[in-house]
Structure formats: C-alpha cells, structure tokens
Amino acid sequence: MRELEFRDVLLAPPPNVRRIEEGTKSLPTVLRMEVVMRKEPRGRVLVRKVGSERSGVGRRSSSIEARERRPQGSGGSYARILSDLKGRIARGRLRTVLAANAELVRLYWEIGRVILTRQHTEGWGAQVIDRLARDFGRSFPDMRGLSARNLKYMRAFAAAWPRKSIVQAVLAQLSWYHNLALLEKLDDADQRLWYAREALRNGWSRNVLAVRIATGVKRRTGQAVTNFRRTLPPAQSDMAADAFKDPYVFDFLGAKELRRERDLEQALIDHIQRFLLELGSGFAFVGRQVPLEVGDQDFQLDLFFYHLQLRCYVVVELKTVPFDASFVGQLSLYLSAVDDQMRHAEDRPTLGLILCRTKNAIVVEYALRNFSRPIGVADWETKLVKSLPRDLANSLPSASRLRAALSRSRSKPPPLGEPRASRSDDGPRSTDVVVRAGKPTRK
C-alpha cells in the first residue's frame, strides 16, 4: 500500500483542505488522487478524483465540496460594490458641477441681456452698472462674480450672443472663463463659435484655448496641400483634410535653429505633449524611428501615429529643408509597406504627412498628382510671428526699427537730477548726477 500523492498550489493548506486530505486516505489504492484547488464563488474547495493507474478504467471524477464561512460583506464582492459606488459618486459630483456651471453661464447671459435691453429702451447709463454692483454686493455678500467689471462682461456676452439657443447648446457647456477668453481675443462671431465647439469637443482648458486662438488654429486647419480627394472616399477625405494643418507652429521649440532632422525629431519628442496638442485631436503616438523591412533593405519611419477618429495609421516625415518632389516617392513606399505589414483588416488606408521648412504649393500639387497613396504636405515653423496674417505682421515694427528706437533712447540725455548709469574703470556701474547750467554736482 503506497501513500497517495496530493498536488496543490498552497504551501500550507488551510484546515478544511487538510481534513479533505485525510478523508481521501480511505479510497482504494489502485486510484491516483489529485487534489485540484481553486477558489469558487461561494468559497468552495473542489477535489477531483481522476484516472486509473493499474487498470484500463476510463477517467472518472467526483467532487467533494467543503464550505467555509466568511464574514458578510468581505472579499471580492464588497470590493466590487465599493468600486461601483465610488464611481457613481464621482459621476454624480461631475454632473452636479457641470449643471451648476451651465446654470451660472445662463444666469450671466440673462443678467447681461436685461442690462443691454434697459440701456436701449430706457436709456440706462454706465453708472447703472456700478449701482447694480453695489446693490448686489449688499444683497449677496457671499456671492462672487457680481462686480461692476463682471457685469460689463455679462452685457458684452449678451451682445455677442443674442440667440439664447446657442448659449444653451454650446456656451453654457464651457466655463465662464472660457467665454471671457472668446470675448477678449476674438471679434468675429463665427470664429468664436468655432473655437467654442472645438474647446468643448477636445476638452481644452482656458489656457489651451487661449493658445489655440493665438496661434490661429482655425485659419490653419485643413490648409495642408493633399491629394485626399483623389485617393480617399468623400467622407474620409474631408475628415482627413481637417486633421492636417498648414503651417504647424512649434513655438515651444524656441528660437534655436534646427538644421538636422534628428535634432528636430528629438526636440519634438522632448515636448511630446505639446507636439500632440499641436497635431490636434485624435493623434496617438506609436513610436519613432520605427523599422520597416522591404525586400533586402531596411527603412525607418521618423514618427509613427495612429489616428483614433480616422481609424488609420499616420506616417510623419520630418524635413529641415524646403520641399522636394523626391520626398513623395519615399513616403509612398513607406505607406505601402505599412499597409501590407502593419495595417489590420478594420483599419483604413495609412495617411502620410511631410513636414518641411517651406514649400511651393504648385510644385507640391504636381508632385502629388499621380500618386495613389494619400499624402499631405505642410510647413513647420518655430516663430509665432511668421504664422500671423500678413496685414498684422506688417503692422509690427521690424528688428531694425526696434534697434534704432533703442539706440535713440540710450543716446538721449536724462532729465536734470536723474541718475545715469556709467561704468567706472574698475568694472562695476556707478551712479552719477547730471550737471546742467553750472549747477553743483552731487555724487
């Protein structure tokens, strides 16, 4: 009679398992016992008797259930309930905050509408706003946002959006500070509405919205030179065109001149968060210098992305020189290889984007005309001034004019008695008093 063999995953089985082990010793010795333990939903331990060693008897199994008592509310069920309730509380708090914000924006619009209407119909003057602010302060001492300055913003808000339906559908979903940024930084109603919808769709903060307005995202969106209309279905071509900009403004790279592609690539990776923000909504970073093997040759993709909304890969080629027609053929090869080697059946055709220093739009049009792969070409810049409209850029002083103005201000003598910085022989600056008309000098 040999000992039965027990296989289990525990170094020190609990008491109920040891009792099961002792109970199996009375079974026939011709059978090999294997104790398989797993945790069942109700705390059971399953014991199975399998196989036969000496006879050709087929596999038979039996189970012995051992129940163990557990405190009510403990274990995995309690953790799941706790997690579910915490999620409900968080969602409820978020809905409460959003509802309160929407109601506040609507209230401000209504206050501004009343002030605006009364000023037009009853001739209320500007002093009425100051009076309202004082009365509101006495009636609602704990409520912020009812100052004279904010009341003027409410009036401007109501004047900018005369239709309440737009306020309720879009603007009330943004914070009051978002709406103030739209009022202060934009004059055109269509542009304000476009940026408001984009901020709502992309979840922009107030600061991000201000940066998007300053860099002219609306003016640059959809301006890249592409062949999407010839290479993609109509619905996808429009979405793909809107996903690309021209130019891309990498002002976060500073004024350093980037002459090598690897330097530009490394700088963009070092600022990957701001780079993705400039690329726009939907871009997910996959990798850099992604290897591709085509035939017996090895290639590398500069930057590799996946667009979540377009459902396709995007290959970005970085160039620190003006556009050349040979860039298109190289990128077309990459797109074909990605579609064959990486694209899944559910993915749409891979898009290509060439970012170059400058380009000639006519040359790009001719270069893309006979290619069947969807490719776009855009410029990239590091200085915000270059991306401003021409009329605005012309209104700014040139570098030579700024230097001349600084030179004149330095050469002009200061008024009588005003200290003037001078450099002594020892090196540090000393302060003298200018002497005029023979008056005594004070040092």
* The residue type at 309: Q
**Cβ-based neighbours of 41, under 8 Å, separated by 6 or more:** none
Cβ(106)–Cβ(149) under 8 Å? Answer: no
Q: What is the pLDDT confidence band of residue 415, given thresholds at 50, 70 and 90?
A: low
DSSP letter assigned to residue 34: E
Q: What angle do CA 105, 136, 140 make, to 5 degrees?
A: 85
What's the DSSP call for residue 372? -
With DSSP H G I counted as helix, E B as strand and the rest as coil, what are the percentages for the chain, rounded to 5?
50, 15, 35
CA distance 303 to 317: 7
The pLDDT tens digits of the residues spanning 36-58 come to: 333 344 444 444 444 444 444 44
| 239 DSSP 8-state letter | H
This prediction has a pTM of 0.63
All domains in the chain, ordered by first residue: 15-67 (no CATH), 89-219 (no CATH), 223-387 (3.40.1350.10), 410-443 (no CATH)
Q: What tens digit of pLDDT does each residue of 335-366 get?
A: 999 999 999 999 999 999 999 999 999 999 99
Lowest mean per-residue pLDDT among 61-70, 111-120, 303-312: 61-70
Closest by CA to 174, choosing from 223, 124, 209, 220, is: 209
Lowest-pLDDT range of 2-6, 191-195, 355-359: 2-6
The 3-state DSSP class for residue 225 equals strand
- Greatest mean pLDDT among 56-65, 79-88, 324-333 lies in 324-333
Structure tokens at 12: 């020190």
Residue type, 26: S
Q: What is the pLDDT of residues 262-305, one digit of tens each?
A: 999 999 999 999 999 999 989 999 999 999 999 889 999 999 99
Question: From CA 198, how far away is CA 354, in angstroms rounded?
Answer: 25
Among candidate residues 420, 425, 409, 413, the one with its CA nearest the CA of residue 442: 420
- What confidence tens digit (pLDDT) does each residue in 15-31 have? 444 444 444 444 443 33
Helix (H) or strand (E) holding 121: helix 76-121
Closest-CA residue to 9 (of 51, 45, 50, 59): 45
Q: Of the segments 35-39, 138-142, 393-397, which one has the largest average pLDDT value?
A: 138-142
Mean pLDDT of 211-229: 92
Q: Are 51 and 38 in contact (CB under 8 A)?
A: no
The first and second tokens of residue 79, run together, are: 């953790």
Terminal Cα distance for the chain, rounded:
116
58 against 75, higher pLDDT = 75
Phi/psi at 267 (nearest 5 deg)?
-65, -40
Helices 189-202 and 206-214: angle between axes, nearest 10 degrees: 130
- How does strand 312-318 pair with strand 351-356? parallel
Question: Which residue in 341, 337, 340, 284 sits closest to 314, CA to CA?
Answer: 284
Using CA atoms in the order 202, 203, 208, 209, what is the torsion angle rounded to 10 degrees?
80
Structure tokens at 169: 């559908």
